[in-house]
């Protein structure tokens, strides 16, 4: 029974995490220019404080789900025989995702300023700008940590050969975009490209984990057929 529970919940979390991330980041107001852009933040907060608060809460929840998703993927890769690569990636993904949560938390300062009587756009922008010396290092360190962790997972997925060659290319490519997009200081990259890449990377993995709950049985159906074909040639009398 415990094993059945693990096999059921892992793929569900891996599928749910990118959907939650996509909903949160696509729902985020677009911020023009290079990030962080305090003026754009002030305008977006003042336009709809409720939306600003909800999407930032959703982003925090989605980041937690992303951590759980990578833990589930690590569990699957470990069952496939990986004893090192994804394990190295886990702490970097956790640290990067945790620091990512701190970014929307910092942007509640602008929300608080917007809801204070007598404030204008300049006051809201100033409240956000006051956090910039903390915001930028957290954003950069978090992005670098997350990218390092994801690259370790990429190496594990390619080494373990749990997916077919075409699907490996799709998943690995999308994971790379997911990781590197957080290093680009543009809203289009960090909100839309990042969340779309998460779906493209994690949904195929979730489907594969659901379809093949035992990695040994899942690994490269094409390779299994190829091995059987070679064995037939080597044993003509069978």
Q: What pLDDT digit, counting tens, does each position of 139-157 carry?
A: 999 999 999 999 999 999 9
- Select from 77, 61, 2, 4 the least CA-distant residue to 27: 61
What separation, in Å, do the N-terminal and C-terminal C-alpha atoms of the chain show? 40
Q: Which of 57-71, 111-125, 137-151 has the lowest mean pLDDT?
A: 111-125
Lowest mean pLDDT among 24-33, 155-164, 178-187, 222-231: 222-231
Weakest mean pLDDT among 65-69, 147-151, 206-210, 213-217: 213-217
Whether pLDDT at 20 is above 70: yes
Which of 16-20, 92-96, 101-105 has the least mean pLDDT? 101-105
Per-residue confidence (pLDDT) for residue 217, from 0 to 100: 53
Give CA–CA dist 48/115, Å, rounded. Answer: 11
The percentage of residues in the chain with a pLDDT greater than 70, rounded to a whole number, is 87
109 close to 129: Cβ distance less than 8 angstroms: no
Alpha helical stretches, state H, the chain: 2-26, 38-47, 49-79, 85-106, 108-114, 121-129, 132-160, 165-180, 187, 194-211, 215-218, 221-234
Q: Per DSSP, what are the bridge partners of residue 186? A: 34
**pTM higher than the cut 0.85:** yes
Closest to 24 (Cα-Cα) out of 196, 201, 144, 173: 196
Radius of gyration of the chain (CA): 21
What average pLDDT does the structure give for the chain?
A: 88
Average pLDDT of the segment spanning 110-120: 91
Q: Which residues contact 125 (CB under 8 A, 6 or more apart)?
A: 38, 39, 41, 42, 110
| pLDDT tier, 117 (very low <50, low <70, confident <90, very high otherwise) | confident
């Amino acid at each position: 029974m415990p094993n059945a529970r693990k096999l059921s919940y892992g793929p569900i979390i891996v599928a749910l995490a990118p959907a939650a991330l996509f909903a949160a980041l696509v729902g985020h107001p677009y911020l023009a220019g290079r990030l962080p852009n305090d003026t754009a933040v002030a305008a977006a907060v003042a336009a709809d404080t409720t939306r600003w608060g909800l999407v930032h809460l959703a982003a925090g929840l989605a980041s937690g789900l992303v951590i759980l998703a990578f833990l589930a993927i690590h569990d699957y890769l470990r069952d496939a025989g990986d004893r090192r690569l994804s394990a190295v990636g886990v702490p970097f993904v956790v640290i990067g995702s945790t620091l990512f949560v701190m970014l929307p938390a910092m942007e509640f300062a602008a929300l608080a300023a917007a809801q204070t009587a007598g404030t204008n756009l300049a006051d809201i922008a100033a409240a956000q700008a006051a956090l910039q010396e903390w915001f930028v290092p957290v954003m950069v360190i978090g992005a670098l940590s997350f990218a390092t962790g994801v690259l370790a997972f990429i190496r594990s997925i390619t080494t373990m050969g749990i997916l077919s060659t075409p699907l490996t290319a799709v998943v690995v490519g999308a994971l790379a975009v997911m990781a590197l997009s957080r290093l680009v200081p543009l809203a289009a990259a960090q909100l839309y490209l990042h969340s779309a890449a998460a779906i493209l990377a994690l949904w195929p993995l979730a489907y594969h984990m659901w379809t093949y709950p035992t990695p040994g049985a899942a690994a490269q159906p094409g390779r299994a057929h190829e091995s059987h074909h070679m064995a037939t040639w080597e044993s003509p009398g069978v």
